[in-house]
A = this chain, B = another copy of it.
Amino acid sequence: MILDIFTQKSTLPLGYNHPKLLKVFQNEQNLKALINRPALGITPGKDWPDRLSSVLQSVAPKGLSKITSMMCSSCSNENAYKAIFIWYQNKLRGDSCPSEEEKKSAMQNKPPGSANLSILSFKGGSHGNTLGTLSTSHTNYIRKLDYPAFEWPVARFPKYKYPLDKNQAFNKKEDKDRLREVKELVGSSACKCPVAGIIVEPIQCEGGDNEASEEFFKGLQTICKEKEIAFLVDEVQTGGGITGKFWCHEHFNLEGPPDLVTFSKKLQMGGFFHKDEFVAKEPYRIFNTWMGDPSKLLLLEEIIHVIEEEKLLENVNQTGAYFKEGLMSIEKEFKDLLHSTRGRGFFLAITCANAATRDKIVVTLKRVGIQVGISGESSIRFRPALIFKKEHVDVFLDRFRKVLKCL
């Protein structure tokens, strides 16, 4: 028996064996959708476009009416970048069509058709494992070494001191400095390739569960508006309710939605929500064989029902607060070992004295039946399923304490 607080890299919103999910493919029509998988981009069948749209629209970030479906986070971000590049070049092009030179040079991997543009990303950010998304991922050299990369600009992400309420001045300055840096990088003439968009996680996940403030994200959005570049929020790991809202960026009280929001993991399939202006004019620009997977959509449909029916966002907020309090009091008990409890809802993390201590804690926890994840250099991340209850928190805190005492 394992109490799983990592849930397959945060991909199982309802945990294991949820009875409602076990029923999805007992329905013959659903079973047929699973084995007769359509190529959604060309022959989706009569019902799928509407069904895709209605299921995903029911959880769409407010103001983002368009959806492009994919299968995984790498493909979601890669194709969101492509949508940004098309949008950016079309702005420059105005009403004219692409020139013959553009068409020809694109086929040869050369400018001007292969546009010399970039996506700005953050140190500690993680957006995928394909060559484009890896040029925006900066968590560990082992993921990047030896591969060609686009020389795109990388800004620093805020690094806060904890507890937040005792370090307000430092953290505010951190926001200000980092925003200034982004602004400089976007406008810099030294930059080899103009920045067409910024990608950012609402909480950096793989990079160490690094939070940033409402003000920081508002500032980023303002820079994007001023510079007329796209604001892409990567909700692959933060989306699906784990922060207590369906999308983490809803916590930031932004003036309007981001331009694009990518998703995957808890939503079972990948894709991105976006504004109308990011729909390409021509067909087959954002395209691949499967364009998602109806069988995953059927699971997502049921997951969304269960989240509503069982009021799981409320559970995340209530049980999450209880969980966080528990972590904070353990942090006080074991000051030499732990610090910086942080996060929203069930998306929680704590930092250990060093990497060796963290690794020892994680291995020992597994021996006593607790699965957690690692994050960044020396943090532990918690990603329980949305059905996690106080009794599970209690089991965890009890064993966590015992493990720490014996360390």
Residues of the B chain whose Cβ atoms lie less than 8 Å from the Cβ of A154: 108-109
B-contacting 9-mer, from A145-153, A167-175, A306-314: A145-153
Contacts of A148 in B (CB 8 A): 85, 114-118, 150, 193
Tell me whether B22 and A289 are in contact (CB under 8 A). no
Contact B11 A22 (CB under 8 A): no
| 0/1 string, A114-130, CB within 8 A of B gives 1 | 11111000010000111
Cα separation A107 to B265 with both chains bound (whole Å): 25
Q: Are B73 and A289 in contact (CB under 8 A)?
A: yes
- The answer for the CA separation of A71 and B282 in the assembled complex, in Å, is 27
B8 with A371: CB separation less than 8 A: no
A36 within 8 A of B: yes
Interface stretch (choices A27-35, A49-57, A210-218, A318-326): A27-35
Q: Is A157 part of the binding interface, using a Cβ–Cβ cutoff of 8 Å?
A: no
Q: Which residues of B contact A138 (CB under 8 A)?
A: 107
A285 near B143 with CB under 8 A, answer yes
- Please classify the interface of chain A as helix (H, G, I), strand (E, B), loop, or mixed, using the class held by over half of its residues: loop
Pick the most buried of A73, A145, A282: most chain B CB atoms within 10 A of its CB: A145
| Interface residues in A84-142 (C-beta closer than 8 Å to B) | 85-86, 88-90, 98, 102-104, 106-110, 113-118, 123, 128-133, 135, 138, 140-142
Q: What residue in chain B is nearest A119 (Cβ atoms)?
A: B148
| In the complex, A42 has a CB within 8 A of chain B | yes
- Please give, as numbers and ranges, the residues of chain B lying within 8 Å of A42 by CB-CB distance: 9
Closest chain-B Cβ to A230's Cβ sits at a distance in Å of 13
CB of A282 to closest CB in B, whole Å = 6
B141 touches A72 (CB 8 A): no
Residues on B with C-beta less than 8 A from A284 are 140, 142-143
- Residues of chain B contacted by A43 (CB below 8 angstroms): 6, 8, 371
Measured between C-beta atoms, what is the minimum distance from A142 to chain B in Å?
6
Q: Is A16 an interface residue (CB 8 A)?
A: yes
Q: Is A78 an interface residue (CB 8 A)?
A: yes
Which residue from B18, B110, B130, B285 sits with its C-beta under 8 Å from A78? B130
* 16 examples of A-B residue contacts, CB within 8 angstroms: A11-B39, A12-B36, A12-B37, A71-B72, A73-B289, A74-B75, A75-B129, A78-B129, A86-B146, A98-B141, A102-B141, A106-B145, A109-B151, A131-B150, A148-B150, A264-B289
Known contacts A89-B146, A103-B141, A142-B284; 5 further A-B pairs (Cβ under 8 A): A37-B268, A82-B146, A109-B152, A140-B284, A148-B150
Binding site for B on A (CB under 8 A): 6, 8-9, 11-12, 16-18, 21-22, 24-25, 31-32, 34-39, 42-43, 71-75, 78-79, 81-82, 85-86, 88-90, 98, 102-104, 106-110, 113-118, 123, 128-133, 135, 138, 140-152, 154, 193, 264-265, 268, 282, 284-285, 287-290, 295, 299, 371
